[in-house]
Amino acid sequence: MGKLFIMKHEHVFKDETNRYSRQVQFKPIRENGLEKIKAGRVLVVGCGGIGSISSEILARAGVGYLRLVDRDYLILSDLQCQMLFDENDVREGLPKAIAAKRKLRKFNSTVKTEAHVQDVNRNTIEELTADIDLVMDGTDNFRTHYLINEICVKNKIPWIYGDCSGATGETMTVIPGITPCFQCVFKTDNKAEKSRRSENEGIIAPAVSVIASIQCAEALKILSGNRDNINKVMYSIHLWENEFQVIDVAESRQRRDCPVCDYHQFNYLNGKYGTTYASLIGNNAIQLIPFESSEINLMEAAIELSTHGDPLYNEFVLRLKIDEYEIALFRDGRAIIRGTSDVAIAQDLYANYIEN
């Protein structure tokens, strides 16, 4: 039997003309649009359901730079609608941003990716949005939507809002100075959030996939230089009830009385609104953020906490079961307490096991 020769085809992966040939055949993009997409720099806020899908689509489309940020780590229930991940990511206990970066490199090694395991808040968002051309919103709470809106209006960065709950979802493209911003449409966070979601509503993957796909179509329009084709309405879907709505949001901009667009009142950026804790919608969990962040040695923390159980840790996160609760401690001092939606219980657990 002759020798078996395995041919190496590394040159195939360097041929970007072949990689993007089908995308280039699309008339609104062509070669010129592809070059603009490859030069694009995108921040993906939240690498869960919406963010995991949109980051994959954008990486496969050849977006040159993706900055990924997420505060959470993977658990088994995430796999139902967070398409980018697999069981091995859960076994390793990886933060979502780290797992996403690893996966995206397998799809497209030419895309530069940067992963941040941290909370998106008024202290971090300025740096995260620096030198960014577009922000993709994959978060699950209205306070973060408002925060993204303020930083993008302030610095004139386009961003694409997206949100899902149950079988419903909605998305809207915001081009500061041209389209209505998020504050124009959703006047107050309490009213908006109560009308949109329930802690026990759950979610189904098709709704997430539809919203993420619409977001990515909008992203490609913006990045390829086709801003005239952007969506100037808000799409709202309810897949279970077979409802697809196109909501005209233009009139919300006609009044010229928006605190953000017209008066530059950045209340979330300035700390007037927001807290040091956040409820993780649908996860029965509370995130706690120390007033002063500090670098934590997770190995040393694991040794100290071993008197209370058997902590599991890697270089990104430490996890410890305490009765029916689980504490996940990150290197920046943040903690996610699972098993409760009660802030007081979460704060007591943090004080007793982390601060002490």
- pLDDT tens column, 127-168: 999 999 999 999 988 889 999 999 999 999 999 999 999 999
Q: Which DSSP state fits 34? A: H
User: Given this model, what pLDDT does residue 286 score?
Assistant: 93
Residues 6+ apart with CB under 8 A from 41: 64, 65, 67, 131, 132, 133, 134
Q: How far apart are the first and last CA of the chain?
A: 69
Q: Which DSSP state fits 237? A: E
Instruction: For residue 53, give both structure tokens.
Output: 């899908």
Q: What is the pLDDT of residues 20-37, one digit of tens each?
A: 999 999 999 999 999 999
Mean pLDDT score, 258-270: 92
| Residue environment code for 294-310, b if the CB has 16+ CB neighbours within 10 A, otherwise e | eebebeebbeebeeeee
Total-model pTM: 0.86
Instruction: Please report, for the chain, the start and end positions of each structural domain, with discontinuous segments joined by +.
Output: 16-254, 277-355
In 3D space, the residue among 24, 23, 33, 19 whose CA is nearest the CA of residue 223 turns out to be 33
Q: What is the percentage of the chain residues whose pLDDT exceeds 70?
A: 90
The domain defined by 16-254 folds into Rossmann fold (3.40.50)
Q: What is the pLDDT of residues 106-130, one digit of tens each?
A: 999 999 999 999 999 998 999 999 9
CA distance 96 to 139: 13
Long-range contacts of 341-348 (CB under 8 A, 24+ apart): 341/199, 341/279, 341/284, 341/285, 341/286, 342/286, 343/277, 343/279, 343/286, 346/277, 346/286, 346/288, 347/277, 347/288
Architecture per CATH, domain 277-355, reads as 2-Layer Sandwich (3.30)
User: In 121-233, where do the E strands start and end?
Assistant: 134-137, 159-165, 168-174
Beta-bridge mates of residue 164: 169
User: Given this model, what pLDDT does residue 274 score?
Assistant: 65
Average pLDDT, whole number, for the chain?
Answer: 90
More confident residue, 190 or 79: 79
Instruction: For residue 140, give both structure tokens.
Output: 């699950």
